[in-house]
Amino acid sequence: MNLIKKYEEMLDKFGYQGWWPLVQNGKMEYFPNDYSYPRSFDESFEVCLGAFLTQNNTWRNASSCILNLYNAGKLDVNSVAEMKSEELEKLIRHSRYFKQKAKRVQEFALKWNEVKNYSKNDQSIFREFLLKFNGIGKETADSIMLYAFKKPSFIIDVYTKRFCFDKSLFNTGKLNYEVYKEFFENNLKKDYKLYNEFHALIVILEQRKSQAKLST
DNA sequence: TTCCAGGCAATAC
DNA sequence: GTATTGCATGGA
């Protein structure tokens, strides 16, 4: 079993995914084979917002919320932290559970300086810090670390688990989040660019597979 | 109409 | 420790 080989096959088949998209000139843009984004703490914050908003929701809905914030001139940490919760709820209504998310996003925005400081810390300390937030579980913590702060922290989601199952990378045992995570991290170079692309490719592969199943 | 979409937290057992 | 429930939109 060679994980890198599978990675290269997927890259050949699907190409660079350019995840995570950011608002550029009023629309969502992807950055294939360019891992320099996010390029500022403001852009990092935008990624964090997306990580909250896409929970149990499609990216389509989550991104429309981010564009709403942009169009309202509120797509920055201070605006999010300071605006009335009712206003934020209105702007992110297309994300499911918007009341709960508005509250959690504002709590996060209020502590943004602390988040930035912790991001300079050791990875495990940063992760523990993130996990203490309401609304940040393991998957969201890893998404924030990888896609907002360029830390090599592999994300485990339903697609990753499906990928492991399909490829028979595991066959038995009690599989919790950390087991999957260690499997990838122990078998790959600790490179955020690789983790970034690999996870994006797993998602596109598994999404295409389930779409194919539906249409047959 | 139903079901699901890249979860998390609180509670129950 | 694992299982269940609340959260409460939009699109197929």
A158 touches strand B (CB under 7 A): yes
CB neighbours of A49 closer than 8 A, spacing ≥ 6?
A: A66, A69, A75, A80, A105
pLDDT in tens, A138-171: 999 999 999 999 999 999 999 999 999 888 777 5
Q: Which of residues 30-89 of A touch strand C (CB under 7 A)?
A: 56-58, 60-61
CA atoms within 13 A on the CB side of A22: 22
**Does the model's pTM come out above 0.85?**
yes
Q: With contact defined as beta carbons under 8 Å apart, do A56 and A97 qualify? A: yes
Q: Give the integer Cα–Cα distance in Å for A134 and A105.
A: 9
As beta bridge partners, residue A27 has A24
The answer for residues whose C-beta is within 8 angstroms of residue A98's C-beta and 6 or more apart is: A89, A92
Over residues A36-85, the pLDDT tens digits come to 999 999 999 999 999 999 999 999 999 999 999 999 999 999 999 999 99
Give the CA A196 to C1' B13 distance in Å: 39
